[in-house]
Amino acid sequence: MISPPAPTASTGALAGVRIIEMGQLIAGPFCGKTLGEFGADVIKIEAPGSGDPLRNWRLLQDGTSVWWQVQSRNKRSIALDLRSAEGQEIARTLIAEADVLIENFRPGTLEGWGLGWDELRQRNPGLVMLRISGYGQTGPYRDLPGFGAIGEAMGGLRHLTGEPGRVPVRVGVSIGDTLAALHGAIGVLAALYHRKVNGGQGQVIDVALHEAVFNVMESLIPEYSAFGAVRDAAGSALPGIAPSNAYACTDGYVLVAGNGDSIFRRLMETIGRPDLASAPDLQSNAGRVARVDELDAAIGDWTRSRPMAEVLDVLGAARVPAGKVYTAKDIHEDPHYRARDMILPQRTRDGHTLDVPGIVPKLSGTPGSIRSSAPRLGDDTDAVLREAGLTDTQIAVLREKGIVA
């Protein structure tokens, strides 16, 4: 078996920040992953025996989860039974020395374990507590179970996704969860800054899945408020912005965004339609929206007889934004991804080498990094408990009781 890379000391922007992660699956752990990539020491608490269910998603033949390798890199794993009184006390000890707690259980779960905000802040007034849930910590839906897919629907995204008049479709990835995670990361960073400059007091960050989705829905509600308009699914087009759509070529589709005023004129000249380029009523977006079907037809007539490579070359030379629809294979082979370190090799602790996504955003002075591969369940239990002051004898007793593993 190939030895895994040894964890290295962090020099990232968040070096010295300790995070306790109690979440599972996607939203909470994706936030922990993001903060860990920039140097935070992320200690993930998992249930002995089973661990995070994500460990069993997208498996190789030997049981290695490829998704887990991305979601949990740069983390340390401690297997701890939070349903036991002794496990809860250990968790309180760990959280007392932490900067951040991330959790994405249903509201009230931590309170039932004696790990609610009121209890935790007594021992750690500077604690920043991120709580991600389906509907938030307050409101009439607070206690309902919520997953990212439901948040995408309630947030308005599913209604806009797909072809007009067809069954609403999902984006294809867990976008509701990751949007909540990224909003959570923003909240953590803001709260840590506030703590630093305002006397060291922590606070709670409350992120609801549907609100994170709703926050990126642009002018959806203002349109309804002003015009009574309910925007519907529009396929590849962006309603109210023209021209911007997917157009058929001889060997696939290209996306063309010709909706800037000067870009539109260059696009029309390039496809041999100077009449449209100079039409007075098409010099602004409002006029182009009124004739969007005509513009889409003109662009489609030009692309339909040409291969994608030619279309992209011609439009690129004319400085018109255009691109093909990438598959995983396209991404993996694209030189631009490689040049910007967005495809990186990562060796797992089971001896596999995988290509995994790189790190976003890119900081010039304190860039993010992959310091260690995703841990096996309980890989770091003993080390973390020793850091908390427990002796090897105490750890052995806890292990014998099944409280840690």
Catalytic residue list = 177
- Give the CB-side neighbour count of residue 330, counting CA atoms within 13 A: 5
User: What DSSP designation does 263 have?
Assistant: H
Contact (CB, 8 A) for 78 and 384: yes
User: Which token pair is 80?
Assistant: 């701890």
First to last CA, the chain: 23
Task: Please give the Cα distance from 19 to 26 (Å, whole number).
Answer: 16
Contact (CB, 8 A) for 65 and 390: no
- DSSP bridge pairs for 78: 45
Q: What Rg do the C-alpha atoms of the chain give, in angstroms?
A: 25
Q: How many beta carbons lie within 10 A of that of residue 204, not counting itself?
A: 16
* Cα–Cα nearest to 160, from 215, 226, 236, 222: 236
